[in-house]
Amino acid sequence: MAKEPGRGKSSSGRGQRDLKVKVKTARGRRASSTRWLQRQLNDPYVKRAQAEGYRGRAAFKILELDDRFRFLVPGARVVDLGCAPGGWCQVAAARVNALGERSGQRGRVLGVDLQEVDPVPGAEIHQHDFMEDGADDRVKDWLGGPADVVMSDMAASSSGHKQTDHLRIVALCEAAAELAFDVLEDGGTFVAKVLAGGAESGLQTLLKQRFDNVANVKPPASRADSSEKFVVATGFRGRKDPEEDT
């Protein structure tokens, strides 16, 4: 099982040199690909993910968000939308005690993705489109009841146009939120990635109508040059129509 960060020895220390890997642009490879490869090879979170057994650096984003908001508690039932490659499922399975390796309540983790995902110990993975009609009922059937947490690290395929990509990921996040409204238990939590750009204001309004608290966070593991941020909505109020309160 992957270790949680902070429990092992640091890879840096006094007297050690901070060595960076330089990558030459090979014939036939774009300069942008070379820059991406060089960034990956020198990214400390990539190195930690490899050392600690996580499937990608994104695992540290959900770890850092949970360290702050504490929603992945033992016994929690978790739905991970767009779960490939499985790093968030790994973190959730460990923290909700899905394998029953610690005393106390045993949680459940359900991963859903359009593509096939390699098995994750402690998680149940389904290849399915969560935007299909009836997906909410299938999710609750697979989970054996409502969820305590719905989370999403999904991003639409890049078009190369910043505003288009922003609109696409906001649309994905809104679709994930709509499913969360149907499957969450009262008091539940919704966590999702968005890109800053302005169009997310409607999503923010919608979440504030359904949850007690809505926070926008950029965890340390999120690259500084990325426009991504995460919305963490806690205290789900249920399916009550917000217009009933007016």
State the binding site for S-adenosyl-L-methionine.
86, 88, 113, 129, 153
**DSSP labels for 19-41?**
--------TTS-HHHHHHHHHHH
Give the residue from 80, 63, 229 showing the smallest Cα distance to 151.
80
Cis peptide before 242 (omega within 30 of 0): no
Phi/psi zone of residue 125: left (φ > 0), alpha (ψ -120 to 50 degrees), beta? beta
Residue with tokens 């593991």: 221
Write out the catalytic residue numbers: 193
Q: Is 88 exposed, middle or buried (0-12, 13-18, 19+ CB in 10 A)?
A: buried
Cα dihedral 89, 42, 4, 228 sign: negative
Give the residue from 15, 14, 13, 33 showing the smallest Cα distance to 24.
33
Inter-residue contact 179 to 194 (CB < 8 Å): no
Task: State phi, psi for 87 to the nearest 5 degrees.
Answer: -65, -40
State the Cα–Cα distance between residues 189 and 148, nearest whole angstrom.
6
> Within a 10 A sphere around the Cβ of 9, how many other Cβ atoms?
6
